[in-house]
Amino acid sequence: MDEAELVSALIGAIYDASLEPELWPSVLSKAAQYTPGMSASLFAKDVHSKNLELYYDSGGIDPHYMQLYKDKYSQLDPLTTMQYFAELGKLMSVADFVPYHEFTETRVFREWGRPQGVVDYIGATIEKAGTSVTMFGVLRHERHGLVDDAARRRIHLITPHIRRAVAIGRAFDLKSSQAQTFLTVFDSLSACLFLIDSGCRIVHANAAGYDMLAAENVLRAVSGRIEPYEAKTAQDFREMFDAAGKGDAALGMRGIAFPMPARDGEKYVAHLLPLTSGARGRTGSSFGAAAILFVQKASPATPAIPEVLSKTYRLTSTELRVLLAIAEVGRVSAVAETFGVSETTIKFHLKNLFNKTGTRRQTDLVRLLAGFTTSLTR
């Protein structure tokens, strides 16, 4: 199988997982092999509690080390900490987060990464919701070397599809896409969903979808065909639908969601999931449908707390890491041990933090962080 066929098959598997989440471990295993890397995962981390929630992973990490990471090292990992405020979808390796030589001195590398032969990581933030972020990432083993241009190119090809599949999976939250249960789940969803055939005709809609059509504000049905009211959006929708009809890979690097403005000025976003390929073809053929369209009102994600702090006080990435570590770990000596640097280095960054934030003591910094947390989580 050449690379084009490999990518096409992988993208198809990614979209299959959006309807059948039990396929994610296999999909992530294929993503790790393609990158290449030793392990790939989908996980979430909370900016406030620092708790890690592993949704799916490919295997490749010893269960003992996986549990260690969840229990201890996720609290200390500068990579997932900095991903709180990374741009959605932007690929980042270790060197993009922190100077590599600094990373090799951290506890998470010395005590968790090095014993396993882990040397690098590449991934992206794929969702932000309140104080939680969802991430997709691949760990590189020393046999793979540090992240190079080839790895970036390959991850760049599949990450948009993983983002779209996760977003669609969130809307459906299906346990199975079998035909006998599909419509029951479909009709129970609060998002507006439509099964549409190859001619853009409506095969089925859920109650919310019919309500949206009746409101004549976002979408309309013209001779049974669904189309947005806004002309430019209608053109984008048609192009997206035509691409979806040509197979999963034809969606290419197009946006994860496309905007769909309403007549009353409100903003909506839409996702399109092809039903003509892979395991999803069973569902599509059962109803004569070529795709599922779902539409939701746009709601801006609450900015992550570190992002707000960084912009407010113009903190460097290292200063921000020190601030978060002071709040989490406490003592300067413990923070220095965590980062693998001297206490003098941490005190230097603390002095800069005091100057920039107008504080005098570590307890003031903790109160500052708590104040931002409260304002963003009410």
pLDDT at residue 307, rounded to an integer: 66
Close Cβ partners of 66 (under 8 Å, ≥ 6 residues apart) = 54, 57
Architecture of domain 3-172: 2-Layer Sandwich (3.30)
Tell me the pLDDT tens digit for each residue of 311-340: 778 888 788 888 888 877 778 888 887 777
Q: 179-297 sits in which CATH class? A: alpha beta
Percent of the chain with pLDDT over 70: 84
From residue 37, give the alpha-carbon distance in Å to each of 11, 41, 101, 354.
18, 11, 21, 41
Residue scoring higher pLDDT (141 or 296): 141
pLDDT at residue 67, rounded to an integer: 92
Pairing, β 258-259 against β 132-141: unpaired
| Among 104-113, 169-178, 207-216, 339-348, the least confident range | 169-178
Q: To the nearest whole number, what is the mean pLDDT of the chain?
A: 82
Q: Give the pTM.
A: 0.71
pLDDT at residue 183, rounded to an integer: 65
What CA–CA distance (Å, rounded) separates 61 from 58? 8
Residue scoring higher pLDDT (6 or 48): 6
Domain 305-377 has CATH 1.10.10.10: yes
Residue 175 has pLDDT above 60, yes or no: no
What CA–CA distance (Å, rounded) separates 212 from 194? 11
Residue 176 has pLDDT above 50, yes or no: no
Per-domain residue ranges of the chain:
3-172, 179-297, 305-377
HEC string for the chain: CCHHHHHHHHHHHHHHHHHCHHHHHHHHHHHHHHCCCCEEEEEEEECCCCCEEEEEECCCCCHHHHHHHHHCHHHCCHHHHHHHHCCCCCCEEHHHHCCHHHHCCCHHHHHHHHHHCEEEEEEEEEEEECCEEEEEEEEEECCCCCCCHHHHHHHHHHHHHHHHHHHHHHHHCCCCCCHHHHHHHHHHCCCEEEEECCCCEEEEECHHHHHHHHHCCCEEEECCEEEECCHHHHHHHHHHHHHHHCCHHHHCCCCCCEECCCCCCCCEEEEEEECCCCCHHHHHHHHCCCEEEEEEECCCCCCCHHHHHHHHHCCCHHHHHHHHHHHHCCCHHHHHHHHCCCHHHHHHHHHHHHHHHCCCCHHHHHHHHHHHHHHHHC
Q: What does the pLDDT average to over 47-70? A: 88
Does 3-172 match 305-377 in CATH topology? no
Residue 377 has pLDDT above 60, yes or no: no
Tell me the pLDDT tens digit for each residue of 243-286: 776 767 666 655 566 778 888 888 888 888 888 777 777 777 77
| Among 168-172, 202-206, 249-253, 344-348, the least confident range | 249-253
pLDDT at residue 150, rounded to an integer: 95
Q: How confident is the model at residue 177 (pLDDT cuts 50, 70, 90)?
A: very low
Residue scoring higher pLDDT (85 or 203): 203
pLDDT at residue 33, rounded to an integer: 96
Residue 310 has pLDDT above 50, yes or no: yes
From residue 100, give the alpha-carbon distance in Å to each of 78, 79, 216, 289.
12, 11, 55, 50
Give me 250's structure tokens: 């034809």
Q: How confident is the model at residue 79 (pLDDT cuts 50, 70, 90)?
A: confident
Which amino acid appears at position 154 of this protein? R
Residue scoring higher pLDDT (299 or 32): 32
What CA–CA distance (Å, rounded) separates 335 from 329? 6
